[in-house]
Structure 1
Amino acid sequence: MNKSIIALAVAGALTAPMVAQADATLFGQIRYDITKEDSTDVVSDITRIRFGVKGEETMDNGLTAGYFIRTDAAATDGSVNIHKSTVYVSGDFGKIVMGDGGNPNEGVEDRTEYGLYSGTFVNMDSGFSAGGISFESADYNGLKFGVGVGNVDTSDGTSSNSFGMAVSYDADNWGVTVGAGQSADTPAVAEYTDFVNTDGTNATTAQTHAEVAASEGDSNYGISMSGKVAAFNLGARYSVQKAKGGDDTKGYAVGGSYAVNDKLTLKLQHESTKTSDTSMKMVAFDATYALGGNASVTLAGISYNKNAEVAATPKKDAVKLRYNISF
């Protein structure tokens, strides 16, 4: 739907007139899930309604200016929120991106995310949810690097100051990424009382939650590799979250996919995270069948070890059937 009237209308409503003049592409996604978790009834719901518009234009000086706006809509009440919005300028030097975008170090996770449940245990979590600026280099014969920083506030107890960097190299059938960064600082929380337990469940009596001091964000680093052999895609990752207070968290992930034919793809994912002496693990499998017309159906299952099932936020074995439309 490139240069569609609808896309231009959305762009004009949400961006400056200069941006609306750029070539515009409307995109979106909707998901409908039927899920059965262990010891619970079957539930079905629309888990995602997402749409957006993106475009770019070559300026008189030869540089390219572009924008990306993505929104999430709630199926329950129809509310719409901006989920990601960035503007960028690119050229032979690379690309400068400003706005609510991703941290470059998240590329370490990307090489191992294959299945529907991939990314369940993530250590490289330093997204610029409050806005930021990043630089992505040009491609130097497969070698690329990126650096970025979120909004900066040097006062105590803010939720800013995340940053990250990554270096990647990609050849014809394999690639590697090394990244490091720091998640945002955590603001202080005063003592308060409500009817919610510490595990997030509702309480029958008032619960008093102790004051929590402000803390500096945890640092992280990781390395990942991916490769392709015939119809197989494989990836592996090792990453560490260095806690400013408490125990560090170490994790790894391996995943892969196999294209049976141009319609059916099988995927397998295994992830593990360890803090102190407690290891949480998962294994997941899914099969995705392309229906045509940008639609697909996926049958997926996930199983956790005992430590994950009894964690503060417990995980449950599940089976999911998903119908997905993307455009």
Structure 2
Amino acid sequence: MRKVLLATTALVAMSVTAAQADVSISGNISFDVMNESDNVESFNVDGDIVIQGTTTTDSGLTFTAEQQTTSEGSSIDDAFIAVSGDFGTIRMGNTDGALDRNDAVAYTNYHEGKAGRGALDKANMAYTAIGGNDTVISFQSPSFNGVTVYADVTANGGYSGAGVTYSAGPVTVTAQKASNVSKASAEAATKYNREDELAGLTDATFVGASVSVGGVTVMMGSSVHDAITGGEAKVKSTDFGAAYTMGDFTLYGGTGKGSKGTRTDKHTSFGATYTVAPGVTLMAENGNKEVAAVKTDATWVNLKVAF
């Protein structure tokens, strides 16, 4: 009965009927314990509730409406409309941009997708990232001979970016460029708190590659923010990491280095994930970092239940 009521509520909210759209409700809740070198322990909860409705026209266009609500704060995380067809996909709304959705070849980005917060979440590291969560229009093409192109833009051209990803067998290579990325860092201000993304950066490039063979994935990336407003120093970073999956276990580890003017930050992390049951994942990680000459290490344990 509860699932029926939830589905009915979602249909009414999106002004469609069961005959017009397929509706799904999913999400996850995670609880983690963070313990840093200064013996500061914290308990944290995170998660999302995702409501998605899809409908397909007679001409073959698929329209998707999706809303993600953060379970811990009941605020809207993502809300967008997507139109897909043979031409590719256009996405419109408050959501992760296409550049952000295609940068997992770098270890730092893989780490965020795999472990979420992780042991280094509270770092104000000199690390460059392109794209993020914003109100954007994005386009992503289908793959042609392994090549996918994509682009983002915000209102009045406040932020724009484009990228290309090439995949051939076990190898994936990505190159991206964005301008006025200060508009693309709304998520950073509330979630990742990376100071380089909050400094009014105006031009950035990213290149990265990954190779996957026999359960082993090796990742590397390099980023540069070229032109800086407000007198901020140029920010550059590189990272390298690897992951090994064997059945329900995944082991991963990597290191990164970032520079901002004369300052150099470093971080290293090692972790493991274990699928306890379908939809249930246990994660643990240890990391250490040096940010603005201050060294910290931390351990992190997380239990996530998806539904």
Q: TM-score of the superposition, structure 1-length normalised?
A: 0.77
- In the TM superposition, what is the alpha-carbon distance from 1:124 to its structure 2 partner? 2.4
The runs of 5 or more residues in structure 2 that have no matched partner are 185-198
Quick check: 1:95 aligned with 2:93? no
Quick check: 1:223 aligned with 2:228? no
Give the secondary-structure state (helix, strand or coil) at the position aligned to 2:10.
Answer: helix
> In 2, are the aligned partners of 1:303 and 1:318 still within 8 Å (CA)?
yes
Question: Which has more radius of gyration?
Answer: 1
The runs of 5 or more residues in structure 1 that have no matched partner are 154-160, 187-214
Quick check: 1:241 aligned with 2:225? yes
Distance in 1, Cα, partners of 2:261 & 2:236: 9
- In the TM superposition, what is the alpha-carbon distance from 1:172 to its structure 2 partner? 1.8
- The equivalent residue for 1:325 is 305
Query: Cα RMSD (Å) of the superposition?
Result: 2.5
- The equivalent residue for 1:114 is 110
Distance in 1, Cα, partners of 2:263 & 2:200: 24
- The equivalent residue for 1:38 is 37
> Aligned letter for 1:298?
M
Distance in 2, Cα, partners of 1:270 & 1:33: 22
> In 2, are the aligned partners of 1:176 and 1:224 still within 8 Å (CA)?
yes
- In the TM superposition, what is the alpha-carbon distance from 1:145 to its structure 2 partner? 0.3
More deviation in 240-249 or 264-273? 240-249
Can you list the C-alpha shifts for 1:119-152, whole angstroms capped at 9, x where unaligned? 86541243352x1111111111211101110122
Q: Higher relative CO (CA 8 A, sep ≥ 6), structure 1 or 2?
A: 2
> In 2, are the aligned partners of 1:175 and 1:226 still within 8 Å (CA)?
yes
Q: Which has the higher helix share?
A: 2
- In the TM superposition, what is the alpha-carbon distance from 1:7 to its structure 2 partner? 5.5
- In the TM superposition, what is the alpha-carbon distance from 1:114 to its structure 2 partner? 3.3
Distance in 2, Cα, partners of 1:294 & 1:16: 30
Q: TM-score of the superposition, structure 2-length normalised?
A: 0.82
1:50 to 41, 48, 51: 48
2:241 to 240, 249, 255: 255
Identity of aligned residues (%): 22
Alignment of 1:1-327 (within 5 A): 5=4, 8-17=7-16, 21-46=20-45, 48-74=46-72, 79-107=73-101, 109-112=103-106, 113-115=109-111, 116=115, 117=118, 122-129=127-134, 131-152=135-156, 161-182=158-179, 183-184=181-182, 217-242=201-226, 243-244=228-229, 245-259=231-245, 261-305=246-290, 307-308=291-292, 310=294, 316-327=296-307
> Aligned letter for 1:300?
E
**Number of aligned residue pairs:** 277
